[in-house]
Amino acid sequence: MIMIRKHFLPLLTGCLLLTACSDTTYQLYDAPRSVAEEIKSFRLVEGFTIRNVAAEPHVVMPVSMAIDEDGVTYVVQMADYPFIPDSLDGKSSIKVLIDTNSDGVYDSSVFFADKIADITSILPYKKGLLVAAAPYIFFMKDTDGDWMADQTDTLFSGFFNKNSEAQITNLTYGLDNWIYANNLGQPGQVKFHLQPDAAPLSMAGHDFRFRLDKGRFEAESGTGQFGLALNDFNHRFYTQNTWHIQTNLIAWRYLRRHKALASYRADRNISDHELEMFQLTPPPYWRKTRSERRQRQYDSLQLNQTEWADGHFTGASGGTFYGGDAFPPEYYGSIFTGEVAGNLIHRDVLTRTDNDITYTASRGSLEKDREFLASTDSWFRPASFYSGPDGNLFVIDMYRQHIETPVSIPEDLKADMDFYAGNDMGRIFLITPEDYDPSGYQPPAMSSMTGPELVALLSHPNAWWRTQAQRQMVERGDKSMVTELRDLLRTGATGHIRLRALYTLEGLDALIPEDVMAALHDKEAGVREHGIMLAEQFPGLAAHIAGLVNDPAKFVAFQAVLSTGNLPVATSIPALARALEKHPEDSLMAVAVVTSLPGISEQLLTQLSQQNYFSSAGTGKKVYLEAVAYAAGLQNQPMAALGTLSGDWSHIAGTALLKGIKASKREQHSPSMTRLLISISNNTDNETLKKQITALLPENKQ
């Protein structure tokens, strides 16, 4: 919480409790509750407590918040929701929340920025805020100390802005000094206003990331909606309505290195408990009725499909990484996700072993048949969370009667719905352990800290402090701490502390090959994983990258395969062949190989064939061969080795080759492609494939 400045008294104050208006009737839907009544509705796991720290009128329709390096608390009020706003007369705003008497409750507020369309997310940056408000990302700053923004710069424009539930959002500072954002794969042509001559970036099908310090912006794999969590090793986890926790395994910069890769979905659902949730509220009338109608339609069409009205994720939102130090240790690293339709908070525990490429998300030990928090108040809408500097977890409760875009509801059901009910309400809660003692908490004041003090904070047990300290050092550009950072890189107590030192050096343009070598040989696999990525900047480390395809940790080997694809063929092809031979059943490893040009090359296929790679079956082998054969057909590059395969392998190669030829839309084939097709036809016993090949031969084409 922040102390009120002596020279400035905000004018906005008011009562924290609200009672329903007497002239409002609630026939089909519940009435709102006071803050005290809402707290009574919460069913929280043992060992924790929850209290209110802000409510209307200081916050209304809150969807996200941020606390800057000096402890100033900002909250986004998305008052345009759920309708498409007027771009010239927006209703969204950003408030500064103020605790005037240091009792832990925000009892005053002031508008930092007002009357802006569709703000969804903010991120402290250079003593101001980055603001996601589709179609824009702004930089806003208070330059005269009154907590009101008097500087607004447009950084990006062109993002999709036709649906408030599906647009650019969740600005998040990454371990690697990139700022990440969800875009749900929505279309748009994004311009970077600091580089007016740069070509616009097409946004369809992916998320977004940028670095203002380097003047870079680019696509990122994934289609996150509202909710983005970056863990200590910079792995992204995002939320999308039904799928409450997804990740992406291959970054866009690898996935789009060539245009001959057959379609591959980067999003991966990592939950081991499917869609079930333990809801305490009944479904609202409109949802129950709509679901019944849809189910009757499915049944009439004899579709094996179930329309869930409740008890299953449909409105997952705000997935957040808990990196605090106040909760018991077993909660560190959890992902907390709100289910705004189910009025609950879900927690996922992430695990990844050396035998895995990705994580698995599981329920906590106390939440096998319940949620971390569930409410009996149907107005409770936990849109997002914030892991704060005191080590506890903030809950941002939009608190409203309906939380659904009107375009998804039948017209007759909308007649009884008030989509504005709750537009004057909103709450923020703080979850703490029952035995939490706030007396030892010291609010942050980083802007006045020295370089050595900031370096020391990279070892803080709370990720909030580590992130802000890294950001402060990178923003200052002060290289006087390079020696201390190198010491920390080699002596830090944990891998994620050593990584903080490594990426702070990178952000200061002080990274040298010796630093990366230290990471490549680190005892912790997650550090080696990042060492490989950073080694791409140094050509002299190519052999070290390729060598790590044999790393005992599978996820490290996976990254080595991705990075090896950028190396010259003399280095890459032997390493990629080793990876495929070592992991014959792993389809993900095969996909990592074929994202690169060496991975779909005739040289690699020929080498594998000569080594009798296809003498036995394997799921990874099948994925690799399908990708190579498809690329050969698409690019009209007949590979002789495809014609030497027999049995099932010939069938697999021929089918994929034909798909590639069809996708190329070429009218004619080269003589060498014709000879390859004949060879495959002679080698396969599949009559359907034989007929398809025969129809493509020049003498049989009409």
Q: For 437-475, what is each residue's pLDDT tens digit?
A: 998 899 999 999 999 999 999 999 999 999 999 999 999
The pLDDT of residue 406 is above 90? no
Distances (CA, A) of 414 to 193, 290, 410, 411, 522: 41, 11, 6, 5, 59
285: helix, coil or strand?
helix
Q: What share of the chain is helix, strand, coil (3-state, %, to 5)?
A: 35, 20, 45
What average pLDDT does this structure show over 4-20?
31
- pLDDT class of 152 with cuts at 50, 70, 90: very high
Quote the pTM value. Answer: 0.93
Q: How far is CA 653 from CA 616, 622, 638, 645, 672, in A?
A: 15, 9, 12, 8, 16
Question: What span, in angstroms and rounded, lies between the C-alpha atoms of 315 and 403?
Answer: 9
Q: How many CB atoms lie within 10 A of CB 56?
A: 20
Structure tokens at 673: 């492609």
Torsion over CA of 460, 465, 468 and 471, rounded to 10 degrees? 10
Residue 635 pLDDT: 95
Query: What is the pLDDT at residue 10?
Result: 30
- 196 pLDDT higher than 50: yes
Average pLDDT over residues 395-421: 91
pLDDT at residue 326 tops 60 = yes
Q: What are the phi and psi torsion angles at 577 (to 5°)?
A: -65, -40
| pLDDT classification of 3: cutoffs 50, 70, 90 | very low
212/286: higher pLDDT: 212
- Determine the Cα–Cα distance for residues 654 and 642; give it in Å rounded to an integer: 8
> What's the pLDDT at 701?
60
**DSSP 8-class letter at 550:** G
Cβ 662 vs Cβ 700: under 8 Å = no
Rounded Cα distance between 594 and 604, Å, is 10
3 state SS of 217: strand
| 180-190 average pLDDT score | 97
535: Cβ contacts below 8 Å, ≥ 6 apart? 516, 520, 541, 544, 545, 563
Q: What is the pLDDT of residues 23-71, one digit of tens each?
A: 334 578 999 999 999 999 999 999 999 999 999 999 999 999 999 999 9
Task: Say if residue 585's pLDDT is above 60.
Answer: yes
Q: What is the pLDDT of residue 427?
A: 98
Calculate the average pLDDT of the chain. Answer: 93
Report whether pLDDT(616) > 80: yes
Question: Which of 82-86, 256-260, 465-469, 597-601 shows the lowest mean pLDDT across its residues?
Answer: 82-86
Q: Of all helices (H) and strands (E), which one includes residue 293?
A: helix 285-300
* Contact present, 294 and 409 (Cβ < 8 Å): no
Neighbours of 280 (CB within 10 A): 18
* pLDDT in the model for residue 79: 92
Helices (H), 107-246: none
What is residue 170's predicted lDDT score, i.e. its pLDDT?
Answer: 98
| pLDDT reading at 158 higher than 60 | yes
pLDDT of residue 594: 98
What are the pLDDT digits (tens) for 93-107?
999 999 999 999 999
Q: Is the pLDDT of residue 86 over 90?
A: no
What's the mean pLDDT in 353-360? 96
pLDDT of residue 20: 38
- Better-predicted residue by pLDDT, 416 or 555: 555
Q: CB neighbours (10 Å) of residue 671?
A: 9
Residue 217 has pLDDT above 50, yes or no: yes
pLDDT greater than 60 at residue 13:
no
d(CA 521, CA 544): 10
Q: Is residue 702 very low, low, confident or very high in pLDDT (cuts 50, 70, 90)?
A: low
**DSSP labels, 449-493:** --HHHHHHHTT-SSHHHHHHHHHHHHHHT-GGGHHHHHHHHHH-S
pLDDT value of residue 26: 56
Question: Lowest-confidence range among 142-156, 322-336, 421-435, 658-672?
Answer: 658-672
pLDDT of residue 7: 28
Q: Dmax over Cα atoms in the chain, in whole Å?
A: 90
> For residue range 498-556, what is the model confidence (pLDDT) as tens digits?
999 999 999 999 999 999 999 999 999 999 999 999 999 999 999 999 999 999 999 99
Q: Is residue 185 helix, strand or coil?
A: coil
Cis peptide before 135 (omega within 30 of 0): yes
Cα–Cα dist 373/281, whole Å? 12
Whole-number pLDDT of residue 584: 96
149-173 exposure pattern, b = at least 16 Cβ within 10 A, e = fewer? beeeeebbbbbbbeebbbbbbbbbb
For residue 42, the surrounding DSSP H or E stretch is: strand 42-44
> Quick one: what percent of the chain has pLDDT higher than 70?
96
* Spacing of C-alpha 44 from chain mean position: 26
pLDDT of res. 16: 32
- Cβ neighbours of residue 92 under 8 Å, at least 6 residues apart? 76, 77, 78, 79, 80, 85, 116, 117, 118, 119, 133
pLDDT at residue 151 in the model: 97
CA distance 299 to 690: 40
User: Given a cut of 90, is residue 572 above it in pLDDT?
Assistant: yes
The helix/strand/coil state of 52 is: strand
